[in-house]
C-alpha cells in the first residue's frame, strides 16, 4: 500500500472531550490530584490521529500507534472541555506522522508528535491470536 498516494499532508481531525474524574490521575493513583491524566490525553491524541486518516485507508485496514513524543504542559480540572487536534505532517511508505496538540479552553495543555502505521486488520488479528496461543 503506497501511503503517500492515499494520505494527504494536512489531513486532520479534531475531537472534544469533557474531563471526568475517570480521566484524572486521582482516579488511578490514590493521593494524586483530580486533573486530566497524561495517558488519557495521549489516548485522545492517538484516537484523533487515527480518525484523521481512517477515510484514506484501504478497506480492511486500520492504523495503530507506534511512536508518541508528547509534552503535557499544564493541568486541567474535571469539567473542562479539552480540544485535541491531530494533523498529518509526514507520510512515508509505512508510517504517518502527526503534529498533535491539546487545549483546555484556557491554554495549550499538550503538544508533540505521534506516528501511526496502517495495517491490514485481519493480518494484525491473526498475529495477535498466534501470540496468545503461545502463552
Catalytic residues: 38, 46, 72
What does DSSP assign to residue 23? G
Residue where the block lists cell 499538550: 110
> Taking Cα atoms as reference points, which of 119, 96, 92, 5 lies closest to residue 49?
96
Gap between the Cα atoms of 55 and 102, Å rounded: 22
CA distances from 37 to 4, 33, 67, 74, 75 (A): 34, 10, 19, 11, 8
Q: Which three cell numbers stand for residue 43?
A: 489516548
Give the C-alpha separation, 91 to 93, whole Å: 7
Amino acid at each position: 500500500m503506497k501511503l503517500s498516494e492515499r494520505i494527504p499532508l494536512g489531513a486532520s481531525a479534531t475531537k472534544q472531550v469533557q474531563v471526568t474524574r475517570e480521566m484524572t490521575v486521582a482516579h488511578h493513583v490514590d493521593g494524586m490530584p483530580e486533573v486530566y491524566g497524561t495517558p488519557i490525553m495521549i489516548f485522545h491524541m492517538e484516537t484523533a490521529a487515527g480518525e484523521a486518516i481512517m477515510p484514506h485507508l484501504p478497506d480492511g485496514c486500520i492504523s495503530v500507534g507506534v511512536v508518541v513524543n508528547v509534552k503535557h504542559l499544564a493541568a486541567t480540572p474535571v469539567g473542562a472541555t479539552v480540544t485535541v487536534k491531530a494533523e498529518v505532517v509526514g507520510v512515508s511508505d509505512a508510517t504517518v506522522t502527526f503534529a498533535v496538540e491539546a487545549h483546555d479552553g484556557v491554554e495549550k495543555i499538550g503538544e508533540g508528535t505521534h506516528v501511526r502505521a496502517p495495517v491490514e486488520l485481519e493480518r494484525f488479528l491473526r498475529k495477535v491470536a498466534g501470540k496468545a496461543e503461545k502463552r
